[in-house]
Structures are given as C-alpha cells and as structure tokens.
Homo-oligomer: A and B are copies of this chain.
C-alpha cells in the first residue's frame, strides 16, 4: 500500500489539490463544509504531507543544525538539551553533528548544512576558523556561535563570560589565603582557554600577587592531563597550595593524583574546576567549581538563531557562577 499524496486526497474529497492544502493548513477563505470533507478524506487515507515536497516550496525546513565537538564530553549534553527543548517549543527539530574534534568533519557538516537541510546553524565547536564561518554567513546562512566572541553583522553569539569565570575562581582562592595558585589550562589555541587565563591574571594583579609562569600550563582538556600535571607540580621545590583547572574533568584528574600521593583535599591542597558538570557534586569531596549555564547557552542560542532569521543580530554574554563545595579551604 503506497503512501497517499495530496492528489489522492483531492480526488477522494472531490476538490483540487490547493483546496486540500488550504484546508489542512488551516487557511481562511474556505467553507467549513469542504474543510471537513477534506479532513475526513485525509484521515481515511492516513495522509501526511510529504516533508520533501513541502520544504521545497515553503523554503523552510523547520530544522536547526547543531554542531558540537563531542557528545561524550559532559559539557555538551545539557547544552544540547537546552537547545533541543527550546527548538521543540518553536516547532523546530535539531539536527546534530558530532565532529569528534575532527576539523574535516566539522567542515563537511557545515558544507552539508549550507546546502539546505536546515534553516540555520548553531556552532559550538572550537576548531573551525572564524573565516569559514563568516563565509557561510555571508552566503546567507543564519549562524549562531557558542562560547566564541565573534563580532560580525551577520552572526550572533552567546558565550559564558570566560574571563569572569577565571577571575572568580582565582579570587576565591586568593581570598582563602592562597598565593601559589597553579592554573592547569586547556589548549593554547582555544579562545576559551585564553579568556580564562586573562581572568586568572587579572585577579592576581588585583591582589598584587606576582604572576609566575611556572605555575601555568596548557593541555589537552582531559582528566589524564590534570593527573600528569599535578604530579609534576607537586614535585617542584615550591609546590602550589591551590590548583585551578580548565574544566572539571581535569580537576578529577587532579583529585586522583592527589589521592595516589597521599595528600588530602582540601587540607593540603585546594582545587577549583570549571563547568560544573553533573558528576562534580558526586566526587569525594564534592568539587568547588565555576558553573557555566550550559542549558541556558543552548536555549539562548536557539532564540538568537530564530531572531537572526528575522535579521536581528545580537551578541550576549552569560554570567558564570562560583559553586563553593568542599575542595577549597583556608590556607
């Protein structure tokens, strides 16, 4: 049994295809009687308007492309959910691209998205160069970037205020009496890492603590890096009394290393993470961290994209928040 199309319904209801379209899409200027007749015929044939024909004429897919680097990175699921729920409220569906940190896949996805399967794109991936994004935007594809501050008349962005996040973490440690504060940072090519670093230095300067480059390193943002770097730091002649990490995963690595070394947290060493992923409240002890409003980032990105489709461009910065748990204490 073949799927019924608009013509089949038209024939059965004894009207023309356009009348069927009008009836089913709730347009005015049609008698209630024929509308009912059409609806009945449609139901009888189990008719569903074909998406492929529909998007060709209406020029809208009601889809949004969402590009992320890695869904198994616990930062993303909440972001995706925020985006998905908001999109769904407005009748849109999310088309998810997981790029596995591969710049080639990112490019492929973007080219695919630019060929028409979506009405707009949200990018929360770090490798793709701004120029490429700008090119596509100038070709007419609505684009919103997440956690990247990109000032361009055709592009909107929403980002956590990373600098403020770095500042908050460092200031918290300083106020607890720490002065030797290590920063196990993320990749040096990342804008987020750079901005958090700025905040770190700003807090140091504000409290007149001399910046010491030996306490700062740039790393792949995984737990293992936190582990390795902690062991190195704690074996220097003048080890830090506090460690601030680029993300929570790396803080877990720190905590694991410390446990191996028989050092106690927070008594011997204070630790502050970044992101506040779900599991951070379950560690032992629970992790003090800087919360990114992840769900809000996804939600806001969708809203900005919808606005951008109506030519309203905007850039917004979201506030991070320090979540004080039990990995930090007075020196």
Contact = CB atoms under 8 A, between A and B. Distances in A.
Interface of A: 1, 3, 46, 48-56, 61, 63, 70-72, 74, 76-78, 80-81, 84-85, 88, 93-98, 100, 105, 109, 111-112, 114-117, 139-140, 223, 252, 256, 259, 278-279, 282-284
Contacts of A71: 71, 77, 80-81, 84
A51 B115 contact: yes
Contacts of A48: 111, 114-115
Contacts of A105: 88
A322 B117 CA distance: 43
B77 A72 contact: yes
Contact of A52 (B1, B61, B81, B282): B61
A98 B115 contact: no
A52 B113 CA distance: 11
A97 B98 CA distance: 14
A53 B51 contact: no
Contact of A93 (B51, B76, B85, B97): B97
Q: Could you say which of A56, A114, A256 has the most chain B C-beta atoms within 10 Å of its C-beta?
A: A56
A77 B95 CA distance: 15
20 contacts: A46-B139, A48-B115, A50-B116, A51-B115, A52-B52, A52-B56, A52-B116, A52-B117, A71-B71, A71-B81, A71-B84, A72-B81, A74-B74, A74-B278, A84-B96, A84-B100, A88-B105, A259-B284, A279-B282, A282-B283
A3 B51 contact: no
Contacts of A279: 279, 282
A279 B72 CA distance: 11
B116 A98 contact: no
Contact of A55 (B52, B97, B140, B284): B52
Task: Point out which of A3, A50, A139, A279 has the most chain B C-beta atoms below 10 A from its C-beta.
Answer: A279
B93 A49 contact: no
Contacts of A1: 139
Contacts of A74: 74, 77, 278
Contacts of A114: 48
A277 to B, nearest CB: 9
Contacts of A63: 95, 117
Contacts of A70: 81
A209 B5 CA distance: 61
Nearest to A80: B71
Contacts of A94: 95-98
Given A51-B117, A55-B52, A279-B282, A98 B84 contact: yes
A252 B77 CA distance: 19
A138 to B, nearest CB: 8
Nearest to A65: B93
A3 B139 contact: yes
A54 B116 CA distance: 10
Given A3-B139, A223-B282, 7 more contacts: A50-B115, A52-B56, A52-B117, A61-B117, A80-B98, A81-B98, A94-B97
A279 B287 CA distance: 14
Nearest to A109: B93
